Amino acid sequence: MKNKYRSHYCCELTEEMVDQVVRVAGFVENIRDHGGVIFVDIRDSSGTLQVVSNDDHIFDGITRESSITIQGLIRKRNEDDYNDRIQTGTIELLVDTIEVLNKSKNVLPFEVMTSHEVVEEVRLKYRYLDMRNEKVKENIIFRTKVIDYLRKLMKEEGFLEIQTPILTASSPEGARDFIVPSRKFKGKFYALPQAPQQFKQLLMCGGFDKYFQIAPCFRDEDARSDRVYGEFYQLDLEMAFVEEEDVLQIGEKIFYDTFKEFAKGKKVCSLPFVRLSYQEAMKRFGTDKPDLRNPLELIDLTQVFEETTFRPFRGVMVQGIVVENIAHYSNSWFNELVEYATSIGMPGIGYFKVLDDMSFAGPIDKFLSEEERDDLIRIGNLKPGCVIFFIADRKKAYQYAGLIRDELGRKLNLIDENEFRFCIVKDFPMYEWSEEEDQYVFTHNPFSMPQGGMDSLLHKKKEEILAYQYDFVCNGIEMASGAVRNHDLEIMKKAFEIAGYHEEELKKRFQSLYEAFQYGAPPHAGMAPGIDRMLMLLLGEKSIRETIAFPMTAGGSDLLMSSPSEVSELQLREAHIKVRD
């Protein structure tokens, strides 16, 4: 059947088709009047084509971004008029007939071709127009290509794609649930899954060795540049009868192969990825998400200042960062770093410069003993022209030092933007003390297996118990989290007991796993690479929202659909809900 709107897409037209009559359809991108000759650029999903007419009135009443269908004759452009910026730049369409399918308003909310320069809220309100922008459209197409590639890769590795429920039970996954009231069960609620965690473990109990899913996840947590509000997608996977190393190797293959395929000329670090314990990552980089493109590392100076007379360094942790060949930088450069330190909650940042004779220049120097100076030169491997920065705090020295390291990396242009550097951070603490709850709580996934099993839970100090948990990190961004799961009911009961869950509560909140683990549950482990974050890095976008077709604003509202919105009194009554003032 012949399509009445188009015979060809714009970019299907070539010089070999000159003198053929064709029909195209799309949106009016631009209208130009060159003194009796009207040029119109028409854009469809394949690209842009110039159409031309000598009839002054054939385009009367047509507005930009209107959808139209045009029939006409393909002809070659004059060589002086070639347009190298578009695929059809050597040809044009001489209009015979034109039909407006839907006329656009005269005044657009923004220029489609430059929509990236518009305030994000306006772009998202008129997202259907924003999508007509070539870059936005290409991002969405790129997303499809990457997801297709991931599906193919997983199936080649023997994984079976299985969908898990969206309506489920509330579960302590580390963030707030989105809850859904039940009409049929008064006073009870479903929850949208923060992750398919329990279901994928149950699939392993059900005898499926390798599961994966392009899984939507829902978490009521604030947005950041690398995290959207509300929902995100992950490549969820789980494997039965495996150890930690099996998952780490499949994770390396997923990230390495995908980034090599789509890196667009950027360098991808070789296999195997650097592996760091959580403790090592914190000591060397001040974060469990280190950007390994940055060569700067932390130096622990706490013992150097154990007996110091300099009061701000007494009785606290002191971290140092040494940077070579910057002692000659201007005072304003150092003042900017001090201002940054203040902005992240530090009282300031101490530093001194090392002069040619190995003496120190800086306000801290006068408080140092000769022994402390000698220790700093030795431990810091200080050289003339370098600067050593000091970060001191009772509890947050590592975290502050990590942020200062990142800022120094940016200010000194130490980061290679054309490189993807991965690492695996593992051996996370199982528990941490919560001042707010006055008890130990899980630091990561509560379903993880403690290293050492029951023996560790019974005999180790709680803060010393490690879990079989691991993160994949790229360029300072967490790309995936995973763990060897706790498949032993007795170990699980004890692990949750330490975090304040009695057996009856465990049985009530995790009834499915509680029961399933009594029927021969196999050892199993998995992970979940974040698709949106992978795309953000591969596309070089600063905001993760640029990778999503219909993102919410950073504040959590959907301006396109006016969501969240009020519902009718009838809907509230049917769900047994009353809104409080």
My answer on whether 53 and 76 are in the same domain is yes
Look up the pTM and report it: 0.93
Give tens-digit pLDDT for 34-82: 777 889 999 999 999 999 998 878 898 899 999 999 999 999 999 988 9
How far apart, in whole angstroms, are the C-alpha atoms of residue 78 and residue 532?
45
Contact 278, 284 (CB under 8 A): no
Task: Give Cβ neighbours of residue 488 (< 8 Å, ≥ 6 apart).
Answer: 449, 453, 454, 517, 521
- CATH number of the domain at 268, please: 3.30.930.10
Torsion sign, CA atoms 116, 120, 122, 126: positive
Count of beta carbons in the 10 Å neighbourhood of residue 150:
19
48-87 burial, b at 16+ Cβ within 10 Å, e below that, comes to bbbbbbeeeebbeebebbbbbbbbbebeebeeeeeeeebb
Where are the extended beta strands (E) located within 2-118?
21-33, 38-44, 47-53, 67-76, 91-102
My answer on whether 402 and 431 are in the same domain is no
Tell me, what DSSP letter sits at residue 429?
B
Where are the extended beta strands (E) located within 271-381?
274-277, 298-300, 317-323, 350-354, 360-361
- CATH number of the domain at 358, please: 3.30.1360.30
Q: Name the residue type at position 93.
A: L
Separation of CA 84 from chain center: 35
My answer on whether 462 and 526 are in the same domain is yes
My answer on whether 309 and 386 are in the same domain is yes
DSSP per residue, 530-550: BHHHHHHHHHT-SSGGGG-SS
Residue 400 has pLDDT above 60, yes or no: yes
Q: Own/partner pairs for 267-272, CB < 8 Å, 24+ apart?
A: 267/416, 267/418, 267/419, 267/420, 268/419, 268/420, 268/422, 269/419, 269/420, 269/421, 269/422
For residue 121, give both structure tokens: 């809220």
Tell me, what DSSP letter sits at residue 46?
T
Residue 540 has pLDDT above 70, yes or no: yes
Q: Which of 275, 533, 554 is nearest to 425 (CA)?
A: 275
My answer on whether 428 and 406 are in the same domain is no
**Residue 225 pLDDT level (bands cut at 50, 70, 90):** confident
My answer on whether 539 and 427 are in the same domain is yes
Q: Which of 252, 144, 164 is nearest to 206 (CA)?
A: 164
Residue 507 lies in a domain: yes
Q: Which of 171, 170, 172 is nearest to 180 (CA)?
A: 170
Give tens-digit pLDDT for 425-467: 999 999 999 888 889 999 988 889 999 999 999 999 999 999 9
Residue 483 lies in a domain: yes
Tell me, what DSSP letter sits at residue 462?
G
483-498 average pLDDT score: 96
My answer on whether 409 and 428 are in the same domain is no
For residue 322, give both structure tokens: 């040494």
Span of 171-175, 322-326, 514-518 with lowest mean pLDDT: 171-175
557-570 average pLDDT score: 92
How far apart, in whole angstroms, are the C-alpha atoms of residue 187 and residue 520?
35
- CATH number of the domain at 85, please: 2.40.50.140
Residue 355 lies in a domain: yes
Residue 112 lies in a domain: no
My answer on whether 17 and 80 are in the same domain is yes
Give tens-digit pLDDT for 405-426: 999 999 999 999 999 999 999 9
Residue 181 lies in a domain: yes
My answer on whether 384 and 427 are in the same domain is no
Burial of residue 25 (CB within 10 Å: 0-12, 13-18, 19+) is buried
How far apart, in whole angstroms, are the C-alpha atoms of residue 437 and residue 353?
44
Q: Percent of the chain scored above 70 by pLDDT? A: 99
**Residue 227 pLDDT level (bands cut at 50, 70, 90):** confident
Q: Which of 285, 287, 319, 325 is nearest to 302 (CA)?
A: 319
Residue 575 lies in a domain: no
My answer on whether 208 and 144 are in the same domain is yes
Residue 479 has pLDDT above 60, yes or no: yes
Tell which of 391, 415, 439 closes a domain: 415
How far apart, in whole angstroms, are the C-alpha atoms of residue 545 and residue 405?
27
Q: Name the residue type at position 41.
A: D
Contact 279, 429 (CB under 8 A): no
Contact 526, 238 (CB under 8 A): yes
My answer on whether 398 and 433 are in the same domain is no
How far apart, in whole angstroms, are the C-alpha atoms of residue 467 and residue 26?
56
Residue 224 has pLDDT above 90, yes or no: no
Please give the pLDDT value at position 554.
Answer: 87
My answer on whether 409 and 481 are in the same domain is no
Q: Phi/psi zone of residue 549: left (φ > 0), alpha (ψ -120 to 50 degrees), beta?
A: alpha
Give tens-digit pLDDT for 131-185: 999 999 999 999 999 999 999 999 999 999 999 999 998 876 567 899 999 999 9
Looking at the 3D structure of the chain, how many domains does it have?
3
Residue 343 lies in a domain: yes
Q: Which of 66, 72, 21, 68 is nearest to 51 (CA)?
A: 72
Give tens-digit pLDDT for 376-397: 999 999 999 999 999 999 889 9
Domain that holds residue 79: 10-102
Residue 1 has pLDDT above 60, yes or no: no
* 439-442 and 317-323 strand pairing: unpaired
Torsion sign, CA atoms 315, 370, 405, 424: negative
Q: What kind and span of H or E run contains 484?
A: strand 477-484
Average pLDDT, the chain: 94
Tell which of 102, 129, 161 closes a domain: 102
Q: What kind and span of H or E run contains 205?
A: helix 197-205
Residue 245 lies in a domain: yes
Burial of residue 547 (CB within 10 Å: 0-12, 13-18, 19+) is buried
Span of 66-70, 79-83, 123-127, 212-216 with lowest mean pLDDT: 79-83
